[in-house]
Every structure is written in C-alpha cells, then in structure tokens.
Amino acid sequence: MFGEIAPRYDLLNHLLSLNVDRYWRWRTVRRVAPQGEAPILDLCTGTGDLALAYARGNGPPVDILAADFCHEMLVVARRKAQRTGLAQRVQFIEADASRLPLPDGRFQIVCVAFGLRNVQDTDRGLSEMVRVCQPGGRVAVLEFSQPTWQPFKAVYQFYFRFVLPAIGQLMARNRHRAYNYLPASVAEFPSGPALVRRMEQAGLRDVSYEPLTFGIATLYVGTC
C-alpha cells in the first residue's frame, strides 16, 4: 500500500494538510532539539521529511539515521536528500521498526512522525525506540489525533472521513485505498493520556504531550 502511493505521497501530504504538516515537523525539531554529538534516529521516515527537517535545523550538526520498511518510500527520500543538498547529513536504511538492526543506547533522539500507528505492535515499536535511545535521551512521537473543540471537530471529521479519502484516492490511485486506511487508523490509535500511558509502560519518564493545530496532531515527548 505504501509503495503504491510513494510517488505522490509528499504532494498529497502538503495539499491535504494545507501545508500545516511542515509546521508540525518544524515544531518537533524546535521542541526536541539535539544536544551534544550523539546521532538522531527517525523511524518510519517515509519520504524523509522529519529527518530532513532535523538536518536543516539550527542545532549542532549531528548524524541522522532515517529508517523505513518501505523501499519505494526510501527511493523518494534519497532523491529528495540529494536534491536539497542534505544527503551528507542523512543516511537512509531499510528496517522494520519492530526489530531494529541497531545497538542499544546509541541515539540522543529517537523520533517518529505519523508512523507509529502503522507499526503492527505499538508497544513493541515503543520498546524498540526506548532500547536504542541513550539514557537521558528523548523519544518524540508526532501523530494524528482527534480534535475535541466544537464546531471545528465536526467540520474536521467530515473532511477527514469523506473529503480527504476521495481526493487522496483520485490523485494517488492504488488498489488498497490507502487514504481510507488513514482515517480508520487514526480513529483506532490511542491518543492523549492513553498514548502517554503506553509510552510510560515502555520505560519512558516525564512524558508530556502538546496538541497542535486545534488537536489535529499531537506531539508526545518522553525521556529515557
């Protein structure tokens, strides 16, 4: 499914979010900025937007490793890194977030943007993020969530359930109806205090969360 939509994934992300997704990643980089020289890991990187946002950030220059299980997404990510002149800062690898081929305690930041809900076992994915994070390092999860403020909630849910899937399927035709999967996966995924509890159970402490853009997305941050 992800391989089929990879060629138009970036276009649709920016179009369907009215470019607000760029702000969410920028906010993540500002909120969870690198400190020191240890590398950063971006899991479920897709076409590499969060990894590249870190590469463009104003913090100290550190190595960035970006991992995804979808080869077609990584092809797009590598091309984008070359085109933007950031290929020397970011290394892309094909890897399963549930079984990372990486050593314990290597990264100062382990982050994931809009990908944790796609990991089949959420708790296993969080445990792997904690395992490869340094003691005192941070885990950041940027994920879609459900707005609670009315009347915005009703308008957004109509858009998210009906308008977005129709536009997505029209512009990125695929056999798996990927843009119907999106709202369904968001509705089923834990958010707010429920995800905080899962992160704490995985071994994180001082977990906090920040709703973004009326609660369309939420940034969760915990310390290893």
| pLDDT tens by residue, 6-43 | 666 666 667 667 789 999 999 999 999 999 999 999 99
Higher-scoring residue by pLDDT: 165, 61: 61
Span 154-172, mean pLDDT?
76
Mean residue pLDDT of the chain comes to 89
Long-range contact set of residues 165-169: C-beta below 8 Å, sequence gap at least 24: 167/12, 167/15, 167/16, 168/5, 168/12, 168/16
Residue 27: C-alpha distances to residues 55, 98, 168 (Å): 14, 26, 25
pTM of the complete model: 0.91
Q: How far apart are CA 164 and CA 146, in angstroms?
A: 15
CA-based Rg of the chain, rounded to a whole angstrom?
17
Q: How far apart are CA 11 and CA 19, in angstroms?
A: 10
153, 147 contact by CB (below 8 A): yes
Sole residue written with tokens 């957004």 = 156
Span 36-63, mean pLDDT?
93
Q: How far apart are CA 212 and CA 91, in angstroms?
A: 29
Domains and CATH numbers, the chain: 2-149+190-223 (3.40.50.150)
The total of other beta-carbon atoms located within 10 Å of residue 69's CB is 18
Sole residue written with tokens 């939509």 = 5
Query: What stretches of 114-216 adopt beta strand conformation (E)?
Result: 133-144, 205-212
Residue 119 identity? V
What percent of the chain has a predicted confidence (pLDDT) above 70?
Answer: 87
**Comparing C-alpha atoms, which of 183, 204, 194, 20 is closest to residue 109?**
204
Span 48-60, mean pLDDT?
91
Q: What is the pLDDT of residue 185?
A: 72
